[in-house]
Chain A
Amino acid sequence: MKKILILALALFIALSAQAAEKGKTVKYKSGKDDVSGYLAMPEKKGTYPAVIMVHEWNGLNDWVKAQADDLASKGYVVLAVDLYRGKVGKTKEEAQALMQGLSKDRAAEDLKASYAYIETLDETKGQKVGSIGWCMGGGYALATAQILSEKLSACVVCYGFVTTDKKELAPVKAKVLGIFGGKDTGIPVDKTVKPFEAALKENGNKDVEIKVYPNSGHAFMNATNGMNTYNEADAKDAWAKTIAFFGKNLAK
């Protein structure tokens, strides 16, 4: 009896999880390889600006899909890429191994491929494209802006590692919003965030917006980050800023 109850419960959870997902898994080519992503769109038919979304060190998990769904509900076609190609880290050890093992040049190819896929969609015809990512994905959201250069219109980096090298940042033509935690020891405000902002501005990317939340640490936007660093008020504010930023730079 107990077993049946557990089974029923598991089935219920599985079904309700599925119901919560609004998007779908899509497949496309990256070079010769088959890759996949999670595609979420507004319910109403039409054309919408697109956003390439990059996951944290854990991979393309339910939290990332929920962000994609939410952003889609605001009027965007969102493609959440899967740089780990099917693997998801369920513990921090697994996440670490995945992040450590990720081939940087293959990830760059996959990001290019995600843009090419978006370009094939009727729903994004003639529309602008942006990128967003958190933690490891924040670094890759910036990489997307470096790789795609003027093809990308807006880039949101949520506490991702950012280079401070002017030359490396030169291809970035997108408007940039950087969201950081003042207590994030991995991305020191003075050593990394400020020189990053200065380098972009010196490159002529004058509209860069940087928001540092002084009381928050790393990964503060994710309630499921497993590090006890979630800050609800700051998370809500940062997400509202993100939506407003995309509204200003992609939707118009």
Chain B
Amino acid sequence: MPQAAALQPAHPQSTVQSKQIFLQSEGDSVAAYLAMPVESRAAAGETRVGDAAIIVVHSRWGLDKWTKRRCDSLAAAGFTALAPDLYRSEVTEDFMTAHELERAVPQNRVRQDLVAAALYLRSNGAKKTGIVGWSMGGTFALRMASETKAIDACATNYGALITTEAALKNITVPVLGNYAAQDFGIDSADVATFRNTLKTLGKTADVKIYPNLAHAFASPESEAYSDREAKDAWQRTIFFFRRYLRP
């Protein structure tokens, strides 16, 4: 297995171009951060995304710098990455403010925004579209896999599980899961059941439970951050998308 560091050039910005675009989501204009490999740079003003694109769903803090760096990192690995701003420009580092923002974001609007992102990528040339998210964003990513046909592969990092067979049956795309054994809110026994049920249903799924880690272990701002496993989870994510999004 190559080291995760090998996937990320020393200066990702030199191989990546990024800009803010606007998506049309049921009458709303939604800002989104778009990052692409340099080789897909199009003529002035035009966007032509690569064959393999990924929607990046921010966590409850909003579309922050870390989420944008995830997009850059995916672009450096050869993907077009698009992160819609589900909060409509609100970003915070404050715990309770994030709680308020998370409560205020309408779930049906989130789904519209993410479907709008998928449509944007498809209409601009993407042949396959994946989705990845962390925590709240991981919850939304997994729901997109169950509730829509808009995506082709789904990676969730400690997002809330889908547990009923009926809802799991709706998942028709490959699923990657990165979970923490000591997550206070997501019981590891439930993650194991999730993994087993997907297997029994014949789904393509790779769900890893990292021992001794807590929720948000991949986020450098979190107390639970663990560098080695964060890199491993990210490496798994990139390999997963290479496998299922590339022609």
| Chain A interface (Cβ < 8 Å from any Cβ of B) | 31, 87, 89, 92-94, 96-106, 108-109, 161, 163-165, 168, 185-188, 192, 218, 227
B183 and A101 contacting across the interface, CB-CB below 8 Å: yes
**Interface-facing stretch out of B47-55, B93-101, B115-123, B225-233:** B93-101
Give bound CA distance, A98 to B184, whole Å. Answer: 7
Closest to A87 in B: B184
| Chain B interface (Cβ < 8 Å from any Cβ of A) | 60, 95-96, 99-101, 103-104, 106-108, 135-136, 139, 143, 158, 160-164, 166-167, 183-186, 190, 215
Partner of B136, one of A100, A164, A185: A100
Give bound CA distance, A185 to B98, whole Å. Answer: 11
Q: How far is the CB of B230 from chain A (nearest CB, A)?
A: 18
A164 and B106 contacting across the interface, CB-CB below 8 Å: yes
Residues of A within 8 A of B108 (CB): 163-165, 168
Residues of B within 8 A of A103 (CB): 160-163, 190
Partner of B186, one of A101, A109, A218: A101
Q: How far is the CB of B48 from chain A (nearest CB, A)?
A: 34
Closest to A188 in B: B104
Closest to B111 in A: A165
Q: Which among B106, B143, B215 has the highest number of chain A CB atoms within 10 Å?
A: B106
B100 and A92 contacting across the interface, CB-CB below 8 Å: no
A-B pair number, CB within 8 angstroms: 79
Give bound CA distance, A22 to B152, whole Å. Answer: 52
Q: How far is the CB of B102 from chain A (nearest CB, A)?
A: 8
Residues A186 and B104 in contact in the complex (CB < 8 Å), given A97-B183, A97-B184, A101-B186: yes
List 5 A-B pairs, minimum CB-CB distance, nearest first: A101-B185, A97-B185, A186-B103, A101-B186, A97-B184
Partner of B160, one of A93, A102, A109, A218: A102
Give bound CA distance, A96 to B100, whole Å. Answer: 11
Q: How far is the CB of A97 from chain B (nearest CB, A)?
A: 4
Residues A218 and B190 in contact in the complex (CB < 8 Å), given A101-B160, A105-B163: no
Residues of B within 8 A of A92 (CB): 95-96, 99
Residues of A within 8 A of B95 (CB): 92-93, 96
Residues of A within 8 A of B100 (CB): 185-186, 218
Closest to B95 in A: A92
A100 and B104 contacting across the interface, CB-CB below 8 Å: no
B104 and A187 contacting across the interface, CB-CB below 8 Å: yes
Residues of A within 8 A of B60 (CB): 100
Give bound CA distance, A104 to B163, whole Å. Answer: 8
Q: How far is the CB of A103 from chain B (nearest CB, A)?
A: 5
Residues of B within 8 A of A104 (CB): 143, 160, 162
Give bound CA distance, A162 to B95, whole Å. Answer: 22
Q: Which among A92, A103, A165 has the highest number of chain B CB atoms within 10 Å?
A: A103
Give bound CA distance, A31 to B164, whole Å. Answer: 9
Closest to B185 in A: A101
Give bound CA distance, A92 to B184, whole Å. Answer: 12
B215 and A100 contacting across the interface, CB-CB below 8 Å: yes
Residues of B within 8 A of A192 (CB): 104, 106
Closest to A185 in B: B100
Give bound CA distance, A93 to B106, whole Å. Answer: 22
Residues of B within 8 A of A227 (CB): 96
Closest to B100 in A: A186
A161 and B96 contacting across the interface, CB-CB below 8 Å: no
Closest to A102 in B: B160
B160 and A100 contacting across the interface, CB-CB below 8 Å: yes
**Contacts A92-B99, A103-B190 supplied; 15 other A-B pairs, CB < 8 Å:** A92-B96, A97-B184, A97-B185, A100-B135, A100-B136, A100-B160, A101-B183, A101-B184, A105-B162, A106-B161, A161-B104, A164-B108, A186-B100, A187-B104, A192-B104
Closest to B60 in A: A100
B103 and A187 contacting across the interface, CB-CB below 8 Å: yes
Give bound CA distance, A132 to B106, whole Å. Answer: 21
Residues of B within 8 A of A218 (CB): 100, 103
